[in-house]
Amino acid sequence: MTESRQLDGARALTLLNRIENKSAQVCVLGLGYVGLPLAVKLADVGYQVTGLDTDEAKIQALREHRSYIQDVPSDEIVRVAARFSATTDYDIIKDMDAVFICVPTPFDAMKAPDLEPIESAASGIAKRLQPGQLIILQSTTYPGTTEDKVLPILETSGLKAGTDFYLSFSPERINPGDKLHRVGNLPKVVGGLTPQSAELSRRLLAQLSPSVHVVSSPRAAEMSKLLENIFRSVNIALVNELALLCERMDIDIWEVIQAAATKPFGFMPFYPGPGTGGHCIPVDPYYLSWKAREYDFYTKFIELAAEVNQSMSYHVVELVTSGLSRQGKALCGAKVLILGVAFKKDVDDARNSPAERILELLLERGAEVSYSDPHVPRFRIGRNVFYGEEKQLVSQTLTEDLLRASDCVVIVAGHHAFDYPWIASHCSLLVDTVNATQGVTDTQAQIVRLGTHWRARPPSSA
Ligand SMILES: NC(=O)c1ccc[n+]([C@@H]2O[C@H](COP(=O)([O-])OP(=O)(O)OC[C@H]3O[C@@H](n4cnc5c(N)ncnc54)[C@H](O)[C@@H]3O)[C@@H](O)[C@H]2O)c1
């Protein structure tokens, strides 16, 4: 065996020892919805963890033991305080044994991947990279990012991947707002650049996860995460399309899904709604369709699903318009109150929420809009070219007066905090895009449920 291979073996064994006896110093780079729960979990299982983020406000909050992520109560930050610190200083990388990269992977206005956060994180690491370190990319991205983008940046350090340092990709599966599936009880997938990279990553991830599935390469791991998200996007699009058909055919899609879900095999329920949101479902599929074009390949399912899911916001506005007109009112000048602007129920994440487009379309058509969301105190709209005027809206307290003063109330995120029977008994028109009012009867409101046919009550003689 050559000297360098022996050295490589010694490095790997040293890191392995540190992983196994929990003396490894671990950095989580990017402390958002993914990074902060991961950092807390790593500290929980016994590692000394340093969180690194460019956002000074987040670092300050963490230093004061204040969490800004709903799924991570501040108590947890206090509980792990002895093993968790936070900084904006990339120089701490030099002292780390392992670094998880959890930065965002947004798209630009043309829905092309924006890898700037990954590239700047990788350059920040490259300037401080030390022999024997393990780097694990967790951000969701197109296949090839780890090998074609991150690896060359890291090797500008002069160190060689596979011999001097280790590199792998392991996607994150966290589901914000989900109390059942948490960091710590979810199986993980990992693909290493080399067998040693894969094995070291597997050993570290095994400390956090009930099982680790190793695939042959980072690109297989990157693709597996996109498959998971595209699977959701396509199935949601399918039920969205069927919901539109059910409205015309006078069938209740919610009843249909409930019935189909009694099949014990081969069926999994997905639900229609106002469109998809968050940092994953409306974004990640585009990463793959963009990359596929380089291979003369057009991902028709992905594009079609995105088109159907995006069209749902327009359909919601159509339901509002027709509901109002059946009550003899026009959308222009009507007061429309949106309930829930988060991208799904019971979370505070409003990124890419369908509420954004719905509010823009309503404003564009002359409605007076407001919203109420106990989880999202402020909500910015109008950032896209086609609405063009940026506005910050502030959540209104939900009162009987506000409901009565609204010509139409639209449920976009079905938070548990809302009292639906009470809401329905204090407004005149309620458009329900998520079936939150199922079973609510005997109300003052005309309820228009997405995915069901509805008939206007005869106008009251009063
Ligand atoms: N949010 C989810 O539910 C979820 C689930 C699975 C996977 N993911 C993926 O995980 C990744 C992170 O998502 P998120 O929701 O946690 O994003 P986020 O925006 O909540 O957090 C990212 C953090 O990275 C920081 N950051 C950005 N650039 C940086 C840099 N160069 N150096 C240091 N810090 C930097 C930001 O300040 C922010 O705090 C994305 O690729 C996303 O697709 C997200």
Atom of ligand 1 nearest to the CA of 88: 33
Distance 182 CA to ligand 1 centre (A): 17
Does the pLDDT at position 2 exceed 70?
no
Coil, strand, or helix at residue 212?
strand
| 462 pLDDT tier (thresholds 50, 70, 90) | very low
Instruction: Say yes or no: CB of residue 272 within 6 Å of ligand 1.
Output: no
For 107-159, the pLDDT digits (tens) are 887 889 999 999 999 999 999 999 999 999 999 999 999 999 999 999 999 99
Distance 106 CA to ligand 1 centre (A): 9
In 68-216, at which residue ranges do the beta strands (DSSP E only) sit?
84-87, 98-101, 134-137, 166-169, 188-192, 212-215
CA distance 43 to 26: 9
Instruction: Say yes or no: CB of residue 95 within 6 Å of ligand 1.
Output: no
Instruction: Say yes or no: CB of residue 358 within 6 Å of ligand 1.
Output: no
Contacts of 70 by beta carbon, 8 Å cutoff, 6+ apart: 176, 177, 347, 348, 375
pLDDT at 110: 85
Does the pLDDT at position 3 exceed 60?
no
CA distance 48 to 42: 8
Distance 371 CA to ligand 1 centre (A): 27
Instruction: Say yes or no: CB of residue 33 within 6 Å of ligand 1.
Output: yes
Instruction: Say yes or no: CB of residue 35 within 6 Å of ligand 1.
Output: yes
pLDDT at 346: 95
pLDDT at 1: 39
Q: Whose CA is nearest to atom 7 of ligand 1?
A: 172
**Average pLDDT value over all residues in the chain:** 94
First and final CA of the chain: distance in angstroms?
A: 94
Nearest alpha carbon to residue 182 among 340, 44, 280: 44
Distance 282 CA to ligand 1 centre (A): 15
Q: What is the pTM of this model?
A: 0.93
Catalytic (active-site) positions: 280
pLDDT at 442: 75
CA distance 362 to 320: 9
